Amino acid sequence: MTDSRVLIVGGGSGMGLALADSLLAGGARVMIAGRSGERLAAAARRLDRGERLRTSQVDVGREDQVRRLLAEAGRLDHVVVTAADATGAYAPLPGFDVQAARSVIDTKLLGPWLIAKHAGPVLAPGASITFTSGIAAYRPGPGASMVASANGALEALARALAVELAPIRVNVVSPGWVDTPVWDTLAGDAKAERLAAMAARLPAGRIGRPADIAKAFEAVMGNGFITGTVVHVDGGHRLVQ
């Protein structure tokens, strides 16, 4: 990935931040984008890679901001979208707020679609776009109706775009449970207990780490013969009930 130019939408924390760190260590030039300017600034301080790292604040669900982001990014070899908004994303169906449901779709499905729509002019030959789905598409729990729907739809979107945007490659990485800051929102003080319980169920015997997912992204980005595919990095979660 040396000298590759990569845009990571959602690169301010969690899996996106781990990917940025790994790519920068390998000599890539990276732009991280996300909704929170404060989080992006903290990520930039942590990564500390000088001119090889840029940041840009964006709401991925707004087309004007996505258009501006891609124009600002310039020529790119790879685009990765890890953006997700856990706030209000999980709730029992009878009380699920419709605006919260729309927010899930805006961030998880419409946002990646907008990125793909406007990325064409800045992508180099042989470029790739990689989205982030998730285990909820296969093992949804109570309250996960919109997250499961968005993840499943995102995988269908990638297959359609792999045909429409060829020879640009479009793929999906689908993580299982990964120890990221999103669990502070989802589980609060019960985070450690919930992650430990899942680790005991998984064939891999542990919860995923952001670096595990970063390696999967890099494998997909670097293989020019992978397109329209979902790569599962879930510790065997799809194999257990």
Q: Annotated catalytic sites, by residue? A: 133
Eight-state DSSP code of residue 62: -
Q: What is the CA radius of gyration of the chain?
A: 17
Nearest to 176 by CA among 238, 219, 218: 238
Nearest to 4 by CA among 114, 66, 25: 25
* Angle between helix 111-119 and 145-164 (nearest 10): 20
Question: Exposed (0-12), middle (13-18) or buried (19+): which is 211, by Cβ within 10 Å?
Answer: middle
Coil, strand or helix at 140: coil
